[in-house]
Structure 1
């Protein structure tokens, strides 16, 4: 997963169905539900605090080895003209709350386009400690089941699913998932439904039921793998909008997450995703990531002298450029990072905090008036073909990393043992990002994400 977290704040969650599109997998009565609108209660949930000095890096890199039943009426599946919208709180990681099980239990999950396995925090009773109230209780769900050891997914080296699995003492399929900063999740692989309402239910999906984890939230794996949430639920389109960070204590900002068509998409501009054949498996390539053909980086009016080949996979797969909602910062290979740093030093070098490297990966850091430094640097843009770009206004160039220090939100990927370029959620603020899986493309639309959440 591309999960980068520093601090977590409290957040509110609101769900709302809009007119849109889900795939036939979620559509049993396609001609009868032309449009459904459902709302869920607004809830406030305190999130745990993680102040590790080493930001968590892209799970897509790690995951691929580079690191009592209750009766309900039969549900009707949503139609092909329905879509699901929820809101998340932006708190470094992008958090959505989704209803899982029968009857549904709302679970907090990190929206992660960089990983495949979805997992939730499961209820674990111990003599000395009560489980968190927000954890999932399997005994309360009539649709919950655990995968046995003889399940095909519990065998090692399943193509496109390299999760380490084993057989536990109960002959159930056990998994362990480790991330680059040393955090982990482990438990059993299970089958469960996402129950958006009595009328909107997914088929049973494979996900992890974590009983050991340092995190308060689970993961919603949304990459191109066959066992991601998007693939299993046969969702052909999803999008999200990351709001601008709030720097005032106690302040909160909310963005949106759509499953299905987004009513704002008329203004989106699209670029094609790069795809890789089965025969193109390279040791440093993540073929399941959302890979884009980045053309260049611009700071102010100056396009940096970085060859486009730096942003493309080489013969070994290094240089891949990915869009990752689960990574906080953007990461660049040295050939690109050094050019960015060279220009930052030219523009604001006297203000650099000498000898300071945030998290061991980011050394473009400053002490002083952040807005004054941002004005010296100017706007930044990631340029793609067809004139499409991700424009980062100068007000969003610097990240507050604490202690009066502000850093350009870019790190060196090779210091983490990965030769990849990753565009993280820090550089997706106030931007619609849509993944159109049916057409193998990604769309961008500039907006005020806090207004888009209304």
Structure 2
């Protein structure tokens, strides 16, 4: 679709601009709890290898976007299967009366947007358009589109390509935006709405009314560190979640996302190990300002500490800020720069000496970088080397085997594959390590924004 057509469609929709109504506000709450579910599409394919390959490809593409956020992702080369997003969703209520919309929980981005208006178009989404929940502004008395002269428009537009959409045209009626993601993109108009929790109404909440998306059948709730994120707009002191252990198949199980608002003490949550958030690298264009950096100091495989050059573990304050580790709920598998991954893989190979490595062809077909043949053996009976991430301050994340090894049946053979990946094209700029949601499963994690620290403890999250 041509850019002129997109703009024409956006300004047609901007005529839906409605006046805000007065709203009553409930007493200030301290916490909100939202059900958190693994995301799956309809019509799941029966081939688990295709699904796994898709998840691996999506993780790499997502990592490429996080490292190169101003580079348009290779959308045409990204395969999306309707088996699973490999992500997690929450439901939020927007509007008056409220409309319930599903969002992907994403700590690697900041904007919040939903599929919007009856004109919404989703390209390459592999889902029946009638199955996509839409927000309809004309059904809400609190909907109000933001015009280009509003300071909020400049704040959103200055950090993404949407700023160019206002050049050379009349943008007095609505503020356009364009957000890029690892596995897609979205374009729409900035909206002021009411976010409706049972305990409190949040008026004048900035949210994107997306009218065209690519490979994005659901909205995204950005939990990043910049002012337009959900935590920033709600004034959260911290938020926490725990992720169910999913095997990339459909499930009705869910866990909780908890939002903490207002003042909070410096006291640590019982049984949590903490490491401080690292100050984001100072770059010329503040490209990576929304990420949650942590200081990963050691990767331990079995009893051996992997030899990782220090320069990869600490981001540098230069123009591209290479190095460092971020925590991202939107990436499925952890991504490591090649020198780090090679060192980790070499240590695993030494510890897994009794097992034969899968062929390069098998690994390429599966989509993961390190697999072993376990044909004839039961995954649950195998004693695997432990994997531990040690952070600044001594906090150790001791992973369960299901957090880093995945059983895969391929033809007449059975394999286990490491759900940590690398790609040489991702090594040029930061971050060097992206801690994905597979490695966060079965952990209770806390983003303490007030005290600037990341906490975690191992916790069984599945209810059955």
> TM-score, with normalisation over the residues of structure 1?
0.75
More helix by share: 2
Moved more, 49-58 or 387-396: 49-58
In the alignment, is residue 385 of structure 1 matched against residue 392 of structure 2?
yes
Q: Could you tell me how far apart the structure 1 residues matched to 2:322 and 2:401 are?
A: 30
In the alignment, is residue 174 of structure 1 matched against residue 181 of structure 2?
no
Q: Could you tell me how far apart the structure 1 residues matched to 2:424 and 2:381 are?
A: 26
Question: Where in structure 1 are there 5+ consecutive unaligned residues?
Answer: 1-25, 68-89
1:96 equivalent among 90, 98, 104: 90
8 A contact 1:344–1:364 mirrored in 2: no
Match of 1:441 in 2: 453
Match of 2:81 in 1: none
Match of 1:146 in 2: 145
**Displacement, 1:219?**
0.5
Q: Could you tell me how far apart the structure 1 residues matched to 2:32 and 2:290 are?
A: 33
- 1:305 to 1:203, Cα distance in 2 relative to 1, 3 A: same
Q: Could you tell me how far apart the structure 2 residues matched to 1:361 and 1:46 are?
A: 20
1:239-388 pair list within 5 angstroms: 239-246=240-247, 250-260=250-260, 265-276=269-280, 280-281=282-283, 286-314=288-316, 315=318, 316-348=320-352, 350-356=355-361, 357=363, 362-369=368-375, 372=379, 375=382, 377-388=384-395
Q: Could you tell me how far apart the structure 2 residues matched to 1:220 and 1:28 are?
A: 23
Moved more, 233-242 or 400-409: 400-409
Q: Could you tell me how far apart the structure 2 residues matched to 1:139 and 1:375 are?
A: 58
Q: Could you tell me how far apart the structure 1 residues matched to 2:132 and 2:102 are?
A: 12
8 A contact 1:62–1:179 mirrored in 2: no
8 A contact 1:120–1:136 mirrored in 2: yes
Q: Could you tell me how far apart the structure 2 residues matched to 1:121 and 1:66 are?
A: 21
8 A contact 1:244–1:253 mirrored in 2: no
- 2:182 partner SS: coil
Q: Could you tell me how far apart the structure 1 residues matched to 2:157 and 2:191 are?
A: 17
8 A contact 2:236–2:260 mirrored in 1: yes
8 A contact 1:147–1:191 mirrored in 2: yes
Q: Could you tell me how far apart the structure 1 residues matched to 2:373 and 2:236 are?
A: 45
8 A contact 1:327–1:424 mirrored in 2: yes
- 1:391 to 1:282, Cα distance in 2 relative to 1, 3 A: farther
8 A contact 1:163–1:175 mirrored in 2: yes
Please, what is the CA RMSD of the aligned residues?
Answer: 3.8
1:189-228 pair list within 5 angstroms: 189-197=190-198, 199-213=199-213, 214-228=215-229
**Displacement, 1:209?**
1.3
**Displacement, 1:396?**
2.9
**Displacement, 1:176?**
2.1
**Count of residue pairs the alignment pairs up:** 394
**Displacement, 1:156?**
8.4
Match of 1:79 in 2: none
Q: Could you tell me how far apart the structure 2 residues matched to 1:152 and 1:435 are?
A: 29
> TM-score, with normalisation over the residues of structure 2?
0.74
- 1:224 partner SS: coil
In the alignment, is residue 422 of structure 1 matched against residue 434 of structure 2?
yes
Question: Where in structure 2 are there 5+ consecutive unaligned residues?
Answer: 1-23, 46-50, 74-83, 122-127
8 A contact 2:403–2:440 mirrored in 1: no
8 A contact 1:379–1:397 mirrored in 2: no
2:421 equivalent among 411, 416, 422: 411
- 1:91 to 1:318, Cα distance in 2 relative to 1, 3 A: same
Match of 1:137 in 2: 136
Q: Could you tell me how far apart the structure 2 residues matched to 1:332 and 1:39 are?
A: 31
